[in-house]
Amino acid sequence: MADYGAGNLHSLKKALEKCGAVVKVTENMKDLANAECIAFPGVGAFDNVMARIGGARNSIVEAILGGTPCLGICIGMQISAEGSEEGCLPGIGLIDGRVIKMKTDRVPQIGWNRVSSNDPLFNGIDSLLFYFAHSFVISPRDPSVVKGTTEYEKMTIPSLVRKKNFVGSQFHPEKSGISGLRFLSNFVEFAEDCL
């Protein structure tokens, strides 16, 4: 798991371990390219995260495109885009499109909201209510990568994106109780199947 100096590391590490994952936290972003699975935690600003990733960007992208499963949460999902209105540094670029500021009266969205999705990562989850805390959203050019959406005021937010082995959630599963743990458990199973 990437430690870029701002992420919600402890909660996510604890939740993933509860779901059976063996988690190693690293500040050296180059280590991620050799990991069996990559996790980008939530919380942080786009440029700060990308500055920490720095020169490891290309090797991380190659690893993911080569089959390494990857989970990005909140800002960890947003950095998968080409860039963001929040900053000026380029993103990782796995997802074609940009991150935009939410066009709603109340920003940020903070609290529980429903995800609409048929994705297998939600298998076994009775209530698709998850915890959100964000002011920006990803806006992919290819709508087929959007696997879950959430309605907030009059805006439809991509709350789950998938491309190859990359999974990005705008919500915080590690803060979403039983539903979040089941989502993470389903991701761990997905990651194991990729190995």
Q: Which residues lie below 8 Å from residue 124, measured CB to CB, with a gap of 6+?
A: 182, 186
User: What does 106-154 look like in DSSP terms, one character per residue?
Assistant: S-SEEEEEE-B---GGGTT-S--EEEEEESEEEEESSGGGEEEEEEETT
Nearest to 51 by CA among 68, 34, 29: 29
Q: Which residues are catalytic?
A: 74, 172, 174
